[in-house]
Copies of this chain bind each other. A is one copy, B any other.
Amino acid sequence: MTQAGTAGGDGTPPSDGAGEEQVAFDINDFPGGARAAIEAVLMVVDEPVTEAALASALELPTEDVAAELEALAEEYTSQHRGFMLRRLAGGWRVYTRSEYAPVVEKFLLGGQQARLTQAALETLAVIAYRQPISRARVGAVRGVNVDGVVRTLLARGLVQEAGQDEESGAVLYGTTDYFLQRMGLDSLDELPPLAPYLPSDDVLEELAAEGHA
């Protein structure tokens, strides 16, 4: 099963081949090249796959794999495919395109997808921006007991337990990768900034100064 494995479209072998275990394929022999090979792997993954993992399987430099992934994603878009390739939650994966959600939901879920209540959304927002956070603290922000809502979010896989508060021992919660996916985010850093919604410093100062108005 050995063969010349000096892969790499750009001529740089990922490893210096000599005396090493060889791969049973040459990426260039494939009619669709590295791009099609990447597509094939994407068909079998059940979680976002990193560029590094793909690069290792294909014996290609990570940069090449990243470039192919970007190109594939663009290709799917320009061809108006029903699916797309997105980097979400830290890795690449094939998703249905959101325009076709009604059809997919009809097919997969037999109808509409349950939507979150306003209370659940608010609780989710507090957890997303303040994680890891205890239920009590979320309740403090929302001004109401959130136990039931947190249970709902747990059951929906949007939040998960994320350790314990050292002092109080209270369970802390954080968001899941599924949350990132449902938000169309690659990482928590991409959450819309909260700052614009918070009052500016001068408003707060004004408040403080107005004490004896």
Give the B-binding residues of A (Cβ under 8 A).
2, 4-5, 7-8, 14-15, 20-21, 23-25, 27, 30-33, 35-45, 53-54, 56-58, 79-83, 94-97, 99-112, 143-145, 151, 154-157
Contacts and interface: CB of A to CB of B under 8 A. Distances in A.
B154 A36 contact: no
From A5, A31, A156, name the one whose CB has the most chain B CB atoms within 10 angstroms: A31
- Count of this chain's copies in the oligomeric assembly: 2
Closest 4 CB pairs of A and B: A39-B82, A40-B82, A14-B110, A40-B100
Contact of A102 (B25, B36, B105): B25
Contact of A82 (B14, B43, B102, B110): B43
B107 A31 contact: no
B7 A107 contact: yes
Contact of A14 (B14, B39, B111): B111
A44 B177 CA distance: 18
Given A36-B97, A40-B97, A97-B40, A106 B145 contact: no
